[in-house]
Amino acid sequence: MKFLVLIYGNPESRKVWDGLSDEQKRESMTGYTALNEALTSAGELVVSHSLAEPEATKQVRFDSGRPITTDGPFAEVKEQLAGFYLLDCDSMERALEIVPQIPEAPYSIVEVRPIRDLSALG
């Protein structure tokens, strides 16, 4: 079963990151590397990426069927999507067990959402 793990950041979590020493930042990144290696070894990691800053976002809306592109994040919210994991694991419980291993999780909001299996629709 596949699960999308969405990691949201906010100005407060960004301040925590910016306040870390270079050594603490390296340790955090080492934590991500270790987690990725463990999930890969277990056959549970499909893909994981950190996303660029929200200011680099392009928003696409439609007006009378025509796309209109603007700068900026999709919505005016405090939390912005910072990164994600796409996991292939046995259950929601297993996906939830992985979340505390994400180095950024204690400073963020993490959402775990099942991926719909549309293969049955043909």
The pLDDT score that the predictor gives to residue 121 is 78
- Note whether residue 122 is domain-resident: no
**Residue 121 CB-density burial (10 A; 0-12 exposed, 13-18 middle, 19+ buried):** exposed
The boundaries of the domain holding residue 6 are: 2-116
According to the model, what pLDDT value does residue 90 have? 96
Note the pTM of the prediction, 2 decimals.
0.82
Strand partners, 49: 84
Residue 63 lies in a domain: yes
Please list the ranges in the chain whose pLDDT falls under 70. Answer: 73-77, 122
- In this prediction, residue 36 carries a pLDDT of 96
Tally of domains within the chain: 1
CA 49 from chain center: how many Å? 7
